[in-house]
Amino acid sequence: APAAKPLPGFASFKNADAVIVHSSTTIETKRSAFGTSVITPSNQLYVRNNLPTPPESIVADRDAWQVQIAGVKQPRQLTVRELKSMGLETVTMVLQCSGNGRGFFPSKPSGTQWTVGAAGCVVWSGVPVREVVKALGGVADGLAYMTGTGGEVLPAGLDPKSVIVERSVPVAAMQDALLAWEMNGEPISLAHGGPLRLIVPGYTGVNNIKYIKQLAFTAKESEAHIMSHGYRISPPGSKGDPSQPSVQEMSVKSWINSPLPEDGAQAPGLVQIHGVAFGGMNGIKGVEVSTDGGKTWKAARLVGPDMGKYAWRQFVLQAQLPKGSHVLASRATDDKGNVQPETRGENQSGYNNTSWADHAVTVNVA
Ligand code: MSS
What pLDDT, in 10s, does the model give residues 122-169?
999 999 999 999 999 999 999 999 999 999 999 899 999 999 999 999
Given a contact cutoff of 8 angstroms between Cβ atoms, the answer to whether 74 and 136 are in contact is yes
Which amino acid, 161? K
Distance 289 CA to ligand 1 centre (A): 31
Pick from 117, 104, 118, 353: nearest CA to 253? 353
d(CA 36, CA 314): 7
Distance 266 CA to ligand 1 centre (A): 37
Distance 35 CA to ligand 1 centre (A): 23
Tell which phi-psi region holds residue 237, choosing left (phi > 0), alpha (psi between -120 and 50) or beta: left
Helix (H, G, I), strand (E, B) or coil at 172: helix
**Which is it for the CA torsion 201, 221, 26, 191, positive or negative?**
negative
Cα separations in angstroms, 298 against 64, 287, 292, 321, 366: 53, 9, 11, 14, 23
Nearest CA to ligand 1 atom 19: 48
Nearest CA to ligand 1 atom 17: 205
Which helix (H) or strand (E) element contains residue 90? strand 89-96
Nearest CA to ligand 1 atom 22: 192
Q: Please report which residue ranges of the chain form alpha helices under DSSP H.
A: 80-83, 129-135, 160-163, 225-228
The predicted-structure confidence for 16-51, as pLDDT tens digits, reads as follows: 999 999 999 999 999 999 999 999 999 999 999 999
pLDDT of residue 1: 62
pTM of the predicted structure, to 2 decimals: 0.98
User: Does ipTM surpass 0.90 in this model?
Assistant: yes
pLDDT of residue 197: 99
Distance 175 CA to ligand 1 centre (A): 21
Pick from 16, 19, 80: nearest CA to 47? 19
From the DSSP assignment, how many helices (H) and strands (E) are in the chain? 4, 21
